[in-house]
Amino acid sequence: MGAEAAAVLRQIDEIEKTQDLDTLIRREIAARRQKTVKSASGQTCPSCGSENPSSNKFCAECGVKLHK
């Protein structure tokens, strides 16, 4: 009976850990989604990392060809 109670407590502990992890993952996904939305309007240079409008064929900063 004592072991059973310990098992139940362990399960509750696991559930709480999972919920914490779930919250962290949700926060992480939301942050990544915001970044994706932000860069969707333009394109990031693979060479220098500067933001360029999606109409640009070449980076305004370093002149490297941008792939879209």
Say if CB 45 and CB 52 are below 8 A apart.
Answer: yes
Interface residue with Zn ion, options 6, 8, 15, 48 (CB under 5 A): 48
Q: What is the DSSP letter of 52?
A: E
Q: To the nearest whole angstrom, how small is the minimum distance from the Cβ of residue 9 to Zn ion?
A: 56
Considering the rule CB under 5 A, would residue 66 count as an interface residue with Zn ion? no
Q: To the nearest whole angstrom, how small is the minimum distance from the Cβ of residue 62 to Zn ion?
A: 3
* Separation of alpha carbons 5 and 12, rounded Å: 11
Instruction: Write down how long the chain is.
Output: 68
Total residues contacting Zn ion by CB under 5 A comes to: 7
- List interacting residues with Zn ion (CB under 5 A): 45, 47-48, 59, 61-62, 64
